A and B are shown apart, each in its own frame.
Chain A
Amino acid sequence: MGPPALRGVLPVLLACAGLAVLQLLLGGLPFFVTLASMVGINVILAVSLNVVNGMTGQFSIGHAGFMAVGAYAAARVSMLLNEVAISGLPEAVSNQVLYAVALLAGGVAAAACGFVVGLPSLRLRGDYLAIVTLGFGEIVRVVIQNTPPQTSPGFWAMGGSLGLTDIPSGRSSLFSTWLWAFLVVLVARRIAESSHGRSLTAIREDEVAAEAMGVNTTAYKVRAFVVSSFFAGVAGGLFAHFYETISPGSFTYVRSMEIVVMVVAGGLGSTTGSIVAAVFLTLLPEGLRSGFLALGGQAAAQVAEQVRMPIYGVLLVVLMLARPQGLFGTRELWHRRKAKGAAP
């Protein structure tokens, strides 16, 4: 796989080239771009949540909260930098650089929240952690709802319950969304295969035993939480720039649960599973809606929208009863099959 110096960057460079070609070929099809962006954002959310819920075995149900922090931070940074142009660069390039800055700001803001929430609350076990993360998501939403309208001065003008509508347009692209999706998969994979990942697995399998073996469980859990919330924040930024309007209503408990369903359906601990489930569960409602629209018109399409959430619920229950390990269990596509008779 090339010289060692290249090993780190080569996959990213290859992905850049591939995505650039994809962007040139398919970037002009609005329907495809919409679907692909939604899928990409959900893949980032699911894979990043899997780092905490799957690999580390901590149950977080407040991912939408981190996504909201990232979305609002990125959107505000973009809005403040809207008039700025980097001298010496064409406008489009300058905009993309600023977009990247905004996304990073969103990620960092969410990661900081992840650290603040994670440090004290990760001492709590199982159910309690779940309820604290849920509480965090709700608190973020209420805080945003109480911010001043977007026309008022200052960074904290988050638009209250009406949301932000002046997010600079035309920055979101297939290329950037899928590059981030690629990055999160790469990071998740590298974490899983490193000694860091082994420690996370140890924590998942038996926290007390891991601690007895000298794993600093709190530190590892907080790190997993920070990585996960960073990417959730980036996904939020991508979401904000794709839709160009956000409001607290986009980041409710339901949104968190959608991501949890993806991770659980794919198999807790499997990055491959999270990707497959995110793609499938994003396209399924769209497919249902289009199908019903073609068959029975507008009224039937509304029914399709209404049955989506109950179906998610049924899916969760049936999965837990019939196949609690999800689609992939903890396996990955890139694991080589073990030779027969080899020592485990």
Chain B
Amino acid sequence: MSYFLVLLVFGLWSGTIYALVALGYTMVYGVLKLINFAHGDVMMVGTYVGYATALQWKARGATGRAWTPGMGQVLTIFFVSMALCAVLGWLVERFAYRPLREKPKLTALITAIGISFVISYGFQMEVGFLPGPAPRAFPPLLKETTWLSLRGGEVTLSNIQVISFAVALGLMAALQWLVFKTRFGRAMRAVSFDHRTAALLGIPVDRVIAGTFMIGSALAAGAGLLFALKDSQVDPLMGTQQGLKAFVAAVIGGIGNVPGAVVGALLLGVVEQLVVGYAASSWRDAVAFGFLIVVLLLRPEGLFGRVTAEKV
């Protein structure tokens, strides 16, 4: 039983990180009907930005002593990487996707795959500031301590886990507020419903779509940093793996649906951990896709998606 609880805690923890990435996929899909394959790679870039920022401080600190960042520094790291990723998301949208918006959907999908290749393999080159293919150790931003222990220490919750949960939940709540309570959110929902009519009604469609990309990318950067806290390393291909799984989570929940993405991600995280715990970790990567195929066959619109009839 306590083994199950341990797995559950780990599953929910990795699930919250998938959820933050999945939200970006689901928002972009809701607005553009495009699988933004580059989203996971934007997350990877965000993590590297955080890594580089942390290294700056670490290098400046006194030598010989372990560097422990203060709260302000941690927040700055999050802020810098989220802001830079928002810019990156805007650039990708502006120069790669916007020119293709009226073209067949397949061209945009192929472009997205191309962008993903450029970013993830570009980061594997060892030229200039690019980091090369080797994984790097991410400096610990927080000192891990146990906050809660159950069943005589068999099941523990560390501060990193609790903070990750809290940050993820906070960001999700903020997003929910943004989508349903603000002018921008209403515009977003209108564009998602029918972007031509929205444009006719005076909604600045380009700006709304750009804004969606920026928010999604910033969330991805946050997720990347939380992931780095968990795994304490970064490598150029982390985005592809995490991104694909987050996308799977979004599809399971019903793509285009914000709460669906969160539920799908938590579910995926837990199922993955259960497989790792009770079967073998080598099967871990097959789980997400097997789960996806089963869901798509039984309920192609996802758990929370709406069935849409095709009109001709």
Question: Which chain A residues border B66 with CB–CB below 8 Å?
Answer: none
- Which of A123, A130, A264, A310: most chain B Cβ within 10 A? A310
For B34, give the chain A residue with the smallest CB separation: A127
B96 close to A (CB within 8 Å): yes
For A129, give the chain B residue with the smallest CB separation: B296
A166 close to B (CB within 8 Å): no
A121 to B122, CA, bound (A): 33
Q: A134-B244, A208-B310 are in contact. Are A320 and B289 (CB under 8 A)?
A: no
Question: Which chain A residues border B297 with CB–CB below 8 Å?
Answer: 120-121
Question: Which chain A residues border B292 with CB–CB below 8 Å?
Answer: 131-132, 135
Chain B nearest CB from A62 CB (Å) reads: 10
B110 close to A (CB within 8 Å): yes
Contact between A257 and B117 (Cβ–Cβ < 8 Å)?
yes
Interface residues in A269-324 (C-beta closer than 8 Å to B):
303, 306-307, 309-310, 312-317, 320-321, 324
Residue in A132, A257, A310 whose beta carbon sits within 8 Å of that of B293 in the complex: A132
Contact between A313 and B293 (Cβ–Cβ < 8 Å)?
no
Contact between B247 and A131 (Cβ–Cβ < 8 Å)?
yes
Contact between B286 and A310 (Cβ–Cβ < 8 Å)?
no
Contact between B285 and A321 (Cβ–Cβ < 8 Å)?
no
A124 close to B (CB within 8 Å): yes
B116 close to A (CB within 8 Å): yes
Chain B nearest CB from A210 CB (Å) reads: 12
A220 to B119, CA, bound (A): 37
B100 close to A (CB within 8 Å): yes
Question: How many residues of chain B have a CB within 8 Å of chain A?
Answer: 46
A126 close to B (CB within 8 Å): yes
Chain A nearest CB from B179 CB (Å) reads: 22
A268 to B107, CA, bound (A): 11
Question: Which chain A residues border B5 with CB–CB below 8 Å?
Answer: none
Question: Which chain A residues border B289 with CB–CB below 8 Å?
Answer: 134-136, 138-139
Question: How many residues of chain A have a CB within 8 Å of chain B?
Answer: 43
A306 to B117, CA, bound (A): 12
A86 close to B (CB within 8 Å): no
B127 close to A (CB within 8 Å): yes
Contact between A310 and B280 (Cβ–Cβ < 8 Å)?
no
A143 close to B (CB within 8 Å): yes
B121 close to A (CB within 8 Å): yes
A73 close to B (CB within 8 Å): no
For A321, give the chain B residue with the smallest CB separation: B99
Chain B nearest CB from A284 CB (Å) reads: 16
Chain A nearest CB from B290 CB (Å) reads: 6
Residue in B111, B117, B127 whose beta carbon sits within 8 Å of that of A320 in the complex: B111
Residue in B111, B280, B285, B300 whose beta carbon sits within 8 Å of that of A138 in the complex: B285
A208 to B290, CA, bound (A): 29
Contact flags A36-79 to B (C-beta < 8 A → 1, else 0): 00000000000000000000010101000000000000000000
Q: A127-B35, A138-B289 are in contact. Are A313 and B296 (CB under 8 A)?
A: no
Give the dominant DSSP class at A's interface. helix
Contact between A306 and B126 (Cβ–Cβ < 8 Å)?
yes
A142 close to B (CB within 8 Å): yes
For A62, give the chain B residue with the smallest CB separation: B289
A257 to B116, CA, bound (A): 11
Question: Which chain B residues border A310 with CB–CB below 8 Å?
Answer: 117-118, 121-122, 125
Contact between A142 and B282 (Cβ–Cβ < 8 Å)?
yes
A145 close to B (CB within 8 Å): yes
A308 to B122, CA, bound (A): 10
Contact flags B152-193 to A (C-beta < 8 A → 1, else 0): 000000000000000000000000000000000000000000
A28 to B111, CA, bound (A): 42
A146 close to B (CB within 8 Å): yes
B65 close to A (CB within 8 Å): no
Contact between B127 and A313 (Cβ–Cβ < 8 Å)?
no
Q: A126-B106, A316-B114 are in contact. Are A139 and B121 (CB under 8 A)?
A: no
A155 close to B (CB within 8 Å): no
Contact between B100 and A316 (Cβ–Cβ < 8 Å)?
no
Contact between B296 and A260 (Cβ–Cβ < 8 Å)?
no
A32 close to B (CB within 8 Å): no
Q: A142-B283, A208-B312, A314-B118 are in contact. Are A124 and B109 (CB under 8 A)?
A: no
A156 close to B (CB within 8 Å): no
18 contacts between A and B (CB under 8 A): A120-B297, A121-B293, A127-B105, A128-B296, A134-B289, A135-B288, A138-B286, A139-B286, A303-B127, A306-B126, A310-B118, A313-B113, A313-B122, A316-B110, A316-B111, A321-B99, A321-B111, A324-B107
Contacts A126-B105, A324-B104 aside, 15 further interface pairs with beta carbons under 8 A come to A59-B106, A121-B296, A127-B105, A131-B292, A135-B288, A135-B293, A142-B285, A303-B127, A316-B110, A316-B114, A316-B117, A317-B96, A317-B111, A317-B115, A321-B99
Closest 8 CB pairs of A and B: A313-B117, A316-B114, A135-B289, A309-B121, A313-B118, A142-B286, A317-B114, A320-B111
